[in-house]
Amino acid sequence: LVYELLNNQGVASTLQEELDLLMVDEFQDTSPIQLAIFLKLSRFAKHVIWVGDPKQSIYGFRGAEPELMQSLLEQSGGLKPENILRYSWRSREEIVWVVNAHFTRAFPYLPPEQICLSPKRCRKASSDSLNEEDEPAAMQSAIQHWHFIMDAERPKPGSAEWFDRALAQQLKAWLETEPLVLPKGMKKDYRPIKPAEVAVLCRSNKRCLSLVEALHEVGLKGAVYRAGLLSTREVQLLLACIKYLLNKRDALSVAEILFLASHTPLEEIVDSRLRFLYGEGEEQNWAAENSYIQILDGLRPEITELSSSELLQLLQDRLDLRRVVVSWGDAEQRLANLEMLMKFALDYEERCTRLHTAASVGGWLLWLNVQARNGWDWQGMSQDENAVKVLTYHKSKGLEFSAVICYDLESGLRNDGLWKVQVVSPEGELDPGDILSGRRLRYWVNPYGRQLGKTVLEQNLKESAVWAQEQQRSLREMTRLLYVGMTRARDYLIFPTRYKRQAVWLDLTFNQKEDGPPVLDPDVSETPWYVGDEVILKRNVLVAVPVFSV
C-alpha cells in the first residue's frame, strides 16, 4: 500500500517539498519491499544517508536480501573510501587481526578495505590508541583455544551434554583466574572480569538452555532467553490492561488488574464481582472506582489509532507500571520482560509490513498466543552481574562482551532452504527503479522428508545449478553469522573444541570449501591467520574431563 501510495502525484509533490533528509539504518537487513520504498523516498529527499554493513546481514529468514544491497552498491560505483569504517574501538588488537585475517578469506567477493579495520586498542599505548596505558603484563592472550578430551583409558568425543558440562567446568575455572579486562567506556584501570561480561554463543535456543543447566550444575549462574513470557505476572498485567481497553466488559481482565496492580485479595475480588452481578453495585461497570480502571477508561478514546508498540508505551507511562512491577522483586528480570514484550510488538508490526497485511492490537494478541503455544514467547535476559550470558549468535547482534565463547562450531552447511518458500530474483542487472519486477515464488516439495539421502532426487539435485546456488547462499549466511559472533568480543575470543571433532564452521568459512585443512590445531599455538607476515598466536588450553562429569 505504501509502495503504491508513493506513485500518487499529490503524495510525491508533497514529499518533494517537505522531505529534507532520509536516513536508513541497518540497511543490510531491509527486505525487497522495504528497499523499494526507501529507493522511492530517496528520489524526493534532498539528502539521503544509508548506514549498513553487508557483512552483518543475518536475517535472511525474515526476508532480508543482502545481495540486493550489494548489487545496488556495485551499480552506484561502490563505496567511497571516506564512507568506509576504518577503525575498531571495541576489540583488542589480536581480535581485530584475527577477524581481518579470517574474513578477508571468508568474504572473497568483498574488497579488503571493506573488511579490515585498524585497532584502536593496542598492547602498547600511544597518543593514537584508545587505551591510555599499556596492557598489563598479567593480561591473558586475547585468542584462546579450549580443547576438551575425555579423561578415560580410551578417549572418545563425548556427547553434547558432556561437552556442555566440560565447557561449564572450564569456564568456572577460568573465571577463578580473574582474567583482566578493560571495562567498556574506560581508557585505563583494568580489572578482573565479571561473569555477566562473558557471553557463550550457541546456534539454537535449545542448546542455550542445555548449557545453562550445565552452568548451574557447576555452580555458575546463567542468563538466557527462556520461554514463558506470557506467563509472567508483569506481562499478564500489561495484557490485561490492553484487553480491558479493547473490551470494557472483560471481567477476567478487570480481576487480573485488581489482583496484580491493586493487590486486592482474591476473596475480595470474588465478593465484589458477586455483589455487582446481583445488582448491589452502584457503578455501571464493575470496579469503576478502582484508580487503574479509571485511568484506563480515560485512555480509551486515545487508543483508536495507536499501534501495539505505541499502546504498550502509553500504558507503561500513564499507569507507571514499571514502578509497580519493580515493587514485586526481581526488578531486573521483570523490566527485561517488559522490554521483550515491546520487542514482540515491534516484530509483529515489522512482519505485517513485510507481508502486506494490516497490523492491529487484536491481531497482535492472537499472534502472541501462537508464539506461546509454540514455546517461542521468550523472556527477557536478566542483567545479574553474576550470571554468564548464554544466547544465540543471532541474538548477539548489536551487543558486545568482554569475553565471547564461540560455541557450536561443529555445524556444517545446511540446505534446508531448498524446501522452503523462496522468492527468486531474475538474473541479470538489477533495475534500481523497479527492483521488484521479475521476482517469482518457488516452492519445492520434498517427498522423502528426512530420508532424502542417497535417493535419485538428491543425486540429481546435487548435480543442479540450484543446489550449487543454495550451497553458496548457505555458506554466505553462515559466514555473516560467524562474523557477527566473533566481532562481539572486546577482550577475549575463545574457541572451544572437543576430541575428534573439528571446528567445521571456522574451517568452511576460512577455506571456502568442505574439505579444507582445519583452522584450529590443539597441539600448536600457531594459527593460519596472519597480520602482515607475522603469524597470529593463540593460547591452547587442553582440558581433560572425566566421563562421569555428565
Q: Domain span at residue 263?
A: 229-373
Shared-domain flag, residues 360 and 401: no
User: What whole-number percentage of the chain has pLDDT above 90?
Assistant: 54
The CATH number linked to 301 is 1.10.486.10
DSSP 357: -
Q: What is the pLDDT of residue 423?
A: 79
Residues 233 and 300 reside in one and the same domain: yes
242 and 214 in a common domain: no
* 351 and 421 together in one domain: no
- 408 and 422 belong to one structural domain: no
pLDDT of residue 548: 53
Mean pLDDT lowest among 173-182, 372-381, 391-400: 372-381
In a domain, 539, yes or no: yes
Instruction: Clarify whether residues 233 and 297 are in a common domain.
Output: yes
pLDDT category of residue 61 using cuts at 50, 70 and 90 = low
Q: Which of 3-12, 74-83, 258-267, 450-459 has the lowest mean pLDDT?
A: 74-83
Note whether residue 366 is domain-resident. yes
Domain end among 47, 69, 84 = 84
Same structural domain, 455 and 527: no
Look at residue 144 and give its three-state secondary structure.
strand
Final residue belonging to a domain, choices 52, 67, 84: 84
> In the prediction, which pLDDT does 65 show?
76
Whether 378 maps to a domain, the answer reads no
Flag whether pLDDT at 365 surpasses 50.
yes
Residues 283 and 363 in one domain: yes
Last residue of a domain, one of 84, 111, 146: 84
| Among 494, 491, 507, residue whose Cα is nearest residue 541 | 494
Whether the pLDDT of residue 280 is over 90: the answer is no
Whether 480 is in a domain gets the answer: no
The pTM of this model reads 0.76
For residue 87, give Cα distances in angstroms to 99, 100, 113. Answer: 13, 12, 11
- Of the CA atoms within 13 Å of residue 173, those in its CB half-sphere come to 12
Residue 338 belongs to some domain of the structure? yes
Same domain, 207 and 119: yes
> What's residue 549's pLDDT?
44
Give the tens place of pLDDT for each residue, 170-202.
999 999 999 999 999 899 999 999 999 999 999
Do 519 and 528 form a contact (C-beta atoms < 8 A)? yes
Q: Do the beta carbons of residue 193 and residue 405 sit within 8 Å? A: no
Cβ atoms of residues 408 and 497 within 8 Å: no
Contact 361, 242 (CB under 8 A): yes
Residues 204 and 237 in one domain: no
pLDDT digits (tens, 9 = 90+) for 196-243: 999 999 999 889 989 999 999 999 988 887 788 999 999 999 999 999
Question: How far apart are the two ends of the chain, measured CA to CA in Å?
Answer: 56
Classify residue 475: in a domain, yes or no: no
| Strands 534-537 and 526-531, bridge-based pairing | antiparallel
Q: Which amino acid is at 126?
A: S
Ranked by mean pLDDT, the top range of 277-281, 375-379, 431-435 is 375-379
Q: Are residues 528 and 391 in the same domain?
A: yes
Does 479 reside within a domain? no
Q: The domain spanning residue 62 has which CATH number?
A: 3.40.50.300
Task: Tell me which residue of 341, 359, 342 sits closest to 350, measured CA to CA.
Answer: 359
- Give the burial class of 357: count Cβ atoms within 10 A of its Cβ; 0-12 exposed, 13-18 middle, 19 or more buried: exposed
- Statement to judge: residues 334 and 460 lie in one domain: no
- What was the pLDDT predicted at 550? 42
Could you give the number of structural domains in the chain? 4
Alpha carbons 191 and 182: distance in angstroms, whole number = 7
Question: Is residue 478 assigned to a domain?
Answer: no
Q: Which amino acid is at 349?
A: E
What single letter denotes the amino acid at residue 253? S
Q: What is the DSSP string of 182-234?
A: --TT-SS--EEPPGGGEEEEESSHHHHHHHHHHHHHTT-EEEE--B-GGGSHH
